[in-house]
Structure 1
Amino acid sequence: MQPTEKDLENIFPACKSLVSRQTWSALVSRMDMNPDPEKFPTVISSLSHELELPEYLNELADLEIALYSCLQLQDQVPSSVHKKMINPSLKMLELHWKGLDKVLDGAGDQKIHPASQPELMLVWFDPDSGRSRAQPADQRTLTALKIVNEDQPMGSTALEYKVNLAELHRAVDQSAARGLILAPRTRLGRDPEIFQPHDKSFERFMHPRVFTLQWHITQACDLNCKHCYDRSSRSPLSLESAYYVLDELEKFCIRNNVRAKVTFTGGNPLLYPHFDQLYLEAVRRGFPVNILGNPASRQRLEQLLAIQTPSMYQVSLEGLRQHNDFVRQPGYFDRVMEFLPLLRELGISSQVMLTLTRDNMDQVLPLGEHLRDMT
């Protein structure tokens, strides 16, 4: 069936916006000999010199026909899946012009000039927006697609290639949010009779995709803080029992279609006798790890970095130097001040936590100013 001029306008709106009405009519008339819209880029190439068309116009037409083709594949994109999978409508275009996606977004804007250099473009039908989308294929997105396509275990991949596990998860999550990857819906949900979303941005808290296990793995601590709520003496958890906890967490994630992260705390979690083995096992199972502890030496941190960089290392301060050291121990404030730059130097994200009381309320803002740009 021969496409009408209206059909071509609907399929190639960006191309039409970049040429004059007379030029567009000339291109449409040549389609009498090539009724298939997929032949339009070829028609553009054949008339490029004669009509003085932009050099990149035929590839822009390739991109627009890909967007149109993906839209025709929307019925092949399932509304729900049981495990992560690549969106079946996904196409990859090897282009010779960089920035054609910007031309699409700013159709008709003569100030946008693509560069003559190769670019791999991803095109797919996004089920959430109900339209086709295009974006350049950066390394982060390609890694996410490779992991899902090959069903690679996240933890083992992060350990083998010495890459950050949390970053791998974020890459996959971001591709899933764009519809490049289809993921099963989480089974966790808050009771809507208790938690009412005030706006659309709140809805992500109704059905969380990530479950955090905050795990007090030891009572051992190198401090004796005045406000500590649990100084009871308990034997350390055996490594076998700790692995069982990870087993149960893994099963919980599978049942509920969520991923987990583990936050080790205590006491001081680094004083747990089997910490490095447990840390490694948590990462191997695909769980990013946070540490809520006390300042540690460079050597101790480097031992952890040899396994995997913690997603975050949190220390606590109870106010400015005098009040904090009264609550925790003399010299602790300065220990933290020396520790935070070390974390930054080693590429470890950091946070500082405070237990709010009547005695330190007026120190929160001054402490925040003191810590500015340190975490």
Structure 2
Amino acid sequence: MPTPAPKSQHVLVLNCGSSSLKFAIIDANTGHEIISGLAERLGAATPSVKYKYKGDKTLIDLEPEQAHAEAINTLVTLIKDHKLDEQLIAVGHRVVHGGEHFTKSVLINDQVIESITQAATLAPLHGHANLLGISSAQDSFKGLPQIAVFDTAFHQTMDKVAYLYALPYNLYTEFGVRRYGFHGTSHFYVAGQTAKLLNQPIEKSNFISAHLGNGCSVCAIKNGDSVDTSMGLTPLEGLVMGTRSGDIDPGLFNFLTTQLDYSAQQIDDLLNQKSGLLGISELSNDCRTIEEAATAGNQQAALALDMFCYRLSKQIASYMVPLQRLDALIFTGGIGENSDIIRKKVITQLGFLGMECDTQANLDARFGQQGVISTEQSRIKAVVMPTNEEWVIALDSANIVKEL
């Protein structure tokens, strides 16, 4: 007798940013997206919602200045119009910062909201948007369990030697000043998928995962656990990113304030919005645009790419210290999954580890294709693994609902 198919477990996944709302209904059993879309430019003059359902793409213009609550109301209408609400079992929320309060995903209640609110002071741009998304979803989906899935949770296995700053210790004990790390759901997902690809247990796997997009981070994963990562107290620390500076000399703050009369807000804007690939290239934060310009002979675009790859390669090499043994380097995220140019540069710079790029495999592994891109002779494998953070959120949400 055939085994009956598992009952569909549809989870509405919400990723609420400061001016955008990414959403999808995902079958937690299969990862299949039923509907997905993005509300963007919320609070601005021309907000809109674009979504994909059954292969058709639709754009809806919202009223000027409409924000998150109105966007979620539009989303509720979409879901009900397509009769998708009857199968929903939960709403899963991506929450960027969980501080030290959360080491795993949790059912949202008043106490959880209070803890998220406290952690939001460490990442105000993301945290307050996450709280707004939770509040709006609670109003719109009364009776559905609301689940919080934290970017920081995967990194709570780091040791103090990795997560503490060399600052007065009371800043940590009293105010929680430490390195937390981000992109945790992505690093967790691609590590598990890479272990399956290489046919080895995750509990015995040592990986370095490079999540490369507009935001970038590297994670050292030892026997399946995060032991170090490049982002810190906030998502600004670490690598060169699209518009973020990554690591800088903290003395820059004194220089900018005393010599150039910058305010704290101006410094924050400079480091988060005007630096990185955009700042160096003076062209764009989009890697594709910069690669095209560099190929055409733009020297600043070429410099931006070289700096990006150099800092990335240094960060990866440094994680051989906590790992000692490396099974594979994983590329993921928009840049990591699609830029064969950056992947080849990085693998070449890490050649001393016994890693060599397979040119054809590297070209083939683009546009959502996974695969090993190192040569058979390489001592350490290089892998492209598309991430799927939304499926992780859906899975965690479905598992928590099962326990209710």
TM-score (norm 2): 0.22
Larger % of strand: which? Answer: 2
TM-score (norm 1): 0.23
* Higher RCO, 1 vs 2 (CA within 8 Å, ≥6 residues apart): 2
